[in-house]
């Protein structure tokens, strides 16, 4: 296997359709160095909130978004994070059902017994407002229908954040 940089022009020198994936990378280069280090097992809602605050970062000041972090059966974060931007304030139950159904399929095959942490993000958020009050029951019902365990739901805003009770 050759050791090229991620964006070198000659990744596929041999002309076939298989890429040689670099086994090393320079320090400070690539998306992986921009992401927070995965936590150990989550033990409390505060742990889930801390993980999402790290992931969302400056996005706290943006428009409404849903963030999903998948956990394994031992409550450790999997390398699966799905941010969905520009979601409507009014919950879309069909979208919620499809998302949780997708997570159910993934968790059944890749992390049996796993669960989902949900972040409800918007600049004016961080508590139970209209956005959160719409999405929490839609996501809870969709999770129940899909057989997916919601580990925690957190509200994140530009200047405040908390774990929501549902």
Q: Are residues 83 and 15 in the same domain?
A: no
List 115's β-bridge partners, or say none. 71, 149
**DSSP helix/strand/coil, 85:** strand
pTM to 2 decimals? Answer: 0.77
Q: What CA–CA distance (Å, rounded) separates 120 from 48?
A: 12
Q: Are residues 159 and 145 in the same domain?
A: yes
Q: Given the structure tokens 């805003």, which residue do they identify?
A: 157
Q: Are residues 46 and 127 in the same domain?
A: yes
What's 58's DSSP letter?
A: G
Q: Are residues 129 and 153 in the same domain?
A: yes
User: What pLDDT tens digit does each residue of the chain (166 aa) get?
Assistant: 444 433 334 444 444 444 433 344 344 444 444 555 556 799 999 999 999 999 999 999 999 999 999 999 999 999 889 999 989 999 999 999 999 999 999 999 999 999 999 999 999 999 999 999 999 999 999 999 999 999 999 999 999 999 998 6
State the total domains in the chain: 2
Q: What CA–CA distance (Å, rounded) separates 166 from 149?
A: 13
Domain assignment of residue 6, given as a range: 1-34
Q: Are residues 62 and 124 in the same domain?
A: yes
Q: How far is CA 109 from CA 3, 83, 113, 148, 161, in A?
A: 32, 21, 10, 13, 33
Q: Are residues 130 and 108 in the same domain?
A: yes
Q: Are residues 19 and 88 in the same domain?
A: no
CB atoms inside a 10 Å sphere around CB 35: 13
Query: What are the tokens at 11?
Result: 């990744």
Q: Are residues 81 and 151 in the same domain?
A: yes
């Amino acid at each position: 296997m050759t050791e090229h940089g991620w964006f070198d022009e000659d990744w596929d020198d041999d002309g076939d359709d298989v890429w040689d994936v670099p086994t090393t990378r320079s320090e400070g280069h690539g998306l992986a160095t921009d992401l927070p280090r995965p936590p150990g097992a989550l033990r409390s809602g505060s742990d889930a909130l801390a993980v999402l605050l790290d992931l969302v970062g400056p996005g706290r000041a943006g428009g409404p978004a849903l963030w999903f972090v998948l956990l394994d059966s031992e409550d450790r974060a999997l390398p699966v994070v799905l941010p969905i931007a520009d979601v409507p304030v009014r919950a879309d139950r069909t979208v919620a059902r499809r998302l949780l159904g997708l997570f159910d399929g993934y968790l059944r095959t890749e992390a049996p017994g796993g669960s989902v942490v949900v972040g409800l993000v918007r600049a004016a958020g961080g508590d139970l407002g209209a956005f959160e009050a719409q999405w929490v029951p839609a996501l809870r019902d969709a999770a129940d229908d899909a057989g997916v365990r919601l580990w925690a739901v957190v509200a994140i805003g530009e200047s405040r954040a908390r774990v929501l009770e549902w």
